[in-house]
């Protein structure tokens, strides 16, 4: 029996286990997937928890519900990849051999990377919402918060779901307005980017939304440390920003074992060919999802579009053919803007987010770079699609390659 080993059973790993079990012959191929945790988190749902829209139970399910029959599942920490010997070492020392390896270990938040972030105010006046614990703690805090300076700070690039911090401030604006205390809450968005987003048109559109909603933005801020005693964040240039409540998007790093296995970049993301999605140094290793260092968003939608590419190229490699599929970096992100409305961006490596309609040119039903009610329903619908279609590796009626039809230049 030949062996396909999948590391990580999050969004991307689970999806690939389902796809590959259908594609690879059961008589010839063993498929094994490894993850440290038994619970699957619907991470996009974390955004809704601080504002009481979702609770913890809305975003968790057992990982076991999503694996197909015929896949071996191992719950264990992964300690090391030894690519020269084609094997992976687990936390308890067990070695797993592979013929092909698929890395899907995502990214984790690393608050320990910033001085003072894990200080005396952590989970007292400082929270993250990229983890279930942080999101739940913040929901409790907001229930009784009397208002003051709410500062949302992005520590460092890249971080997963680059629109989530923007959605967070839009939601905060609506949340405190609805509670009749918006005049007591001063919201400031502090980012290392030169504006609200990276690409010109989306930056302009989202920047204007911030302004309309009376949310301050402080760009080009690279945080150096948190001063817990004086409740301030300080950047490398010496700029100081006071806060009463700090919501941080901590540094996002790839798994530690990526670094010790010699496969990663400065932030432990796996060095990956951005078109073939193969690891740059090893022909029998492919990478999917947030774990890859490819220059596009780290998002579930990207992993979904990449899945088809990885499947095809993995089969090419296995059958000794040239890799024929090319990934274009396609990303598609619904952005909640508060008050039951949302906007949508669709882009890839070469094309910035443009206005228009999606997925059907002229018809939509979703509006690109427009604030509409339908876009908000798109996002809510996404949770259902995630559990029932995406994780199971089923096809969706959306092309994985980005389409120019329906977009206005």
Partner 1 sequence: MSIKTIAGVEVNVNDEGYMEDASQWTKEIASEIAKEEGVELTDKHFEVIDFVRGKISAGEGLTIRGIGKSGVVNAKEFYALFPGAPLKKVTKISGVPKPTSCI
Which of ligand FAD, partner 1, none does residue 168 bind (CB under 5 to 8 Å by kind)? none
Residue number with CB closer to ligand FAD (29 or 382): 382
| Beta bridge mates, 286 | 102, 278
Among 14, 18, 297, 375, binds partner 1 (CB under 8 A): 297
Contact positions with partner 1 (CB under 8 A) in 226-265: 236-237, 265
Residue number with CB closer to partner 1 (105 or 268): 268
Cα–Cα dist 254/291, whole Å? 6
C-alpha angle 247-253-257 in degrees, rounded to nearest 5: 145
C-alpha angle 11-13-15 in degrees, rounded to nearest 5: 65
Closest CA to 13 of 107, 98, 74, 104: 104
| Beta bridge mates, 41 | 60
Among 72, 79, 177, 222, binds partner 1 (CB under 8 A): 222
The helix (run of H) or strand (run of E) holding residue 29 is: strand 29-35
Cα–Cα dist 277/316, whole Å? 13
Which of partner 1, ligand FAD, none does residue 105 bind (CB under 5 to 8 Å by kind)? ligand FAD
| Beta bridge mates, 75 | 35
Q: Do residues 338 and 48 lie in contact, with contact meaning Cβ atoms separated by under 8 Å?
A: no
Among 220, 240, 281, 283, binds partner 1 (CB under 8 A): 220
Residue number with CB closer to partner 1 (175 or 197): 197
Q: Do residues 335 and 166 lie in contact, with contact meaning Cβ atoms separated by under 8 Å?
A: yes
Residues that bind ligand FAD (CB under 6 A): 8-13, 35-37, 43-44, 46-47, 77-78, 104-106, 129-130, 160-161, 164, 255, 257, 289-291, 298-301, 303, 333-334
Residue 225 C-beta: closest distance to ligand FAD, Å: 24
Closest CA to 96 of 84, 88, 104: 88
Which of ligand FAD, partner 1, none does residue 367 bind (CB under 5 to 8 Å by kind)? none
What DSSP assignment string belongs to 63-131?
GGGGPPTT-EEEE--EEEEEGGGTEEEETTS-EEE-SEEEE---EEE-GGGSBTTTSTTBTTTEE-SSS
Pattern 153-172, partner 1, x by CB under 8 A: ---xxxx--x----------
Residue 389 C-beta: closest distance to partner 1, Å: 26
Pattern 174-213, partner 1, x by CB under 8 A: -------------------x---xx---------------
Tokens of 266: 């400065």
Residue number with CB closer to partner 1 (170 or 197): 197
Residue number with CB closer to ligand FAD (130 or 145): 130
267 interacts with partner 1 by CB under 8 A: yes
Which of ligand FAD, partner 1, none does residue 290 bind (CB under 5 to 8 Å by kind)? ligand FAD
Residues that bind partner 1 (CB under 8 A): 156-159, 162, 193, 197-198, 220, 222, 224, 236-237, 265-267, 295-298
């Amino acid at each position: 029996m030949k062996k396909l080993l999948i590391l990580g059973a999050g969004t991307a790993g689970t999806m690939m286990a389902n796809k590959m079990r259908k594609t690879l012959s059961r008589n010839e191929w063993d498929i094994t997937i490894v993850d440290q945790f038994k619970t699957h988190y619907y991470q996009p749902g974390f955004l809704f928890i601080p504002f009481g829209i979702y609770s913890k139970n809305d975003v968790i399910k057992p990982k076991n519900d999503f694996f197909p029959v015929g896949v071996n599942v191992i719950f264990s920490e992964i300690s090391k990849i030894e690519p020269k010997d084609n094997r992976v070492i687990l936390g308890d020392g067990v070695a797993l051999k592979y013929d092909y390896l698929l890395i899907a270990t995502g990214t984790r938040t690393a608050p320990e990377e910033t001085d003072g972030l894990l200080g005396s105010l952590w989970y007292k006046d400082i929270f993250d919402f990229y983890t279930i614990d942080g999101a739940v703690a913040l929901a409790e805090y907001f229930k009784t918060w009397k208002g003051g300076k709410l500062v949302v700070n992005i520590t460092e690039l890249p971080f997963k779901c680059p629109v989530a911090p923007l959605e967070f401030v839009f939601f905060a604006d609506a949340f405190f307005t609805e509670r009749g205390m918006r005049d007591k809450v001063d919201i400031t968005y502090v980012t290392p980017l030169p504006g609200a987003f990276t690409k010109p048109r989306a930056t302009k559109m989202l920047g204007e939304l911030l302004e309309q909603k009376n949310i301050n933005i402080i760009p080009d801020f690279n945080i150096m440390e948190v001063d817990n005693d004086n409740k301030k964040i300080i950047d490398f240039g010496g700029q100081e920003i006071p806060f009463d409540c700090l919501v941080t998007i901590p540094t996002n790093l790839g798994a530690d074992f990526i670094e010790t296995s010699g496969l990663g970049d400065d932030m432990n993301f796996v060095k990956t060919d951005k078109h073939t999605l193969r690891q740059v140094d090893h022909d029998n290793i492919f990478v999917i999802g947030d774990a890859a260092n490819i220059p596009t968003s780290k998002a579930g939608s990207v992993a979904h579009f990449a899945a088809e590419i990885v499947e095809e190229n993995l089969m090419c490699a296995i059958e000794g053919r040239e890799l024929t599929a090319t990934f274009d970096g396609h990303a598609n992100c619904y952005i909640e803007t508060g008050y039951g409305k949302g906007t949508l961006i669709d882009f890839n490596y070469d094309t910035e987010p443009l206005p228009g309609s999606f997925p059907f040119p002229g018809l939509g039903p979703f509006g690109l770079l427009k604030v509409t009610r339908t876009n908000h329903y798109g996002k809510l619908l996404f949770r259902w699609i995630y559990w029932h279609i995406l994780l199971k590796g089923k096809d969706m009626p959306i092309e994985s390659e980005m389409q120019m039809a329906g977009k206005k230049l």
